[in-house]
Amino acid sequence: MYRFPNSPKIFVDIFHFDVEKMKRKLENSELARLDVEGFKNVEKNPIILILDNIRSLNNIGSVFRTADAFLIKKIYLCGITASPPHKDIRRTALGATESVDWEYKQSTLELVKELQADNAKVIAIEQAEDAIMLHDFDIVSDQIMAFVFGNEVKGVSQEVVSACDIVLEIPQFGTKHSLNISVSAGVVVWDIWSKINALKTKKP
């Protein structure tokens, strides 16, 4: 189903790499994407995203699109986070609300406890005193990981952070305090997907 089922590890010498064959842009029809039914049936990655009181409809839609791309198991929309259908979510989700499984929950804290009772590890994405830096986080289990992304201004509440199993932080080196929340979700999903993929494709 994928165009790159067993893409070999390429060590790219950017001084002397044959690039003549890589440059024809693909039409959308050549991308071999899934349809919605195919998406529902395909095996998902053991990743859940929790949007904790997200204000921006653009951000919500953008997270749906990321979740579609990386076969995320489920998105939970909590507190003030708006739910589909909504035209401003659709504008950035571009239909990904049809493919990705989602559910609204009033209380993020209760959801965290439910998921833990269900044997998931719940991981806050926050800046905290002894947070683990994302690049130092190695996956050693195929247990389901549920990542909590917090409000654009207040982040994840201390109460929810305290209830989580782990706190992960995206290291940042500039003048600003945080990344845009849909960018944070993209970074975390890509990082975890890469690590899952590396484990799967590792030679025994």
| Using rule CB under 8 A, residue 191 touches its own copies | yes
Choose, by CB under 8 A, the member of 46, 79, 84, 186 that binds its own copies. 186
Q: Do you find a cis peptide bond into 85, omega within 30 degrees of 0? A: yes
Q: With CB under 8 A as the contact rule, which of the stretches 47-55, 74-82, 107-115, 187-195 interacts with its own copies?
A: 187-195
Quick check: 122 and 116 in contact, CB under 8 A? yes
Choose, by CB under 8 A, the member of 80, 88, 94, 199 that binds its own copies. 94
Q: Which of residues 55-84 bind its own copies (CB under 8 A)?
A: 58, 62, 65-71
| Using rule CB under 8 A, residue 25 touches its own copies | yes
Q: Give Cβ neighbours of residue 45 (< 8 Å, ≥ 6 apart).
A: 70, 71, 72, 73, 192, 193, 196
Between residues 53 and 99, which has the closer beta carbon with respect to its own copies?
Answer: 99
Between residues 81 and 97, which has the closer beta carbon with respect to its own copies?
Answer: 97
Q: How far is the CB of 78 from its own copies (least distance, A)?
A: 18
Paired residues of 155 in beta bridges: 151
| Using rule CB under 8 A, residue 52 touches its own copies | no
Amino acid symbol at 70:
F
CB atoms < 10 A from the CB of 121, how many? 16
Give the number of C-alpha atoms closer than 13 A to the C-alpha of residue 92, restricted to the C-beta side: 14
* Count of chain residues binding its own copies (CB under 8 A): 92
Q: Which of residues 104-143 bind its own copies (CB under 8 A)?
A: 121, 126-133, 135-141, 143
CB atoms < 10 A from the CB of 9, how many? 7
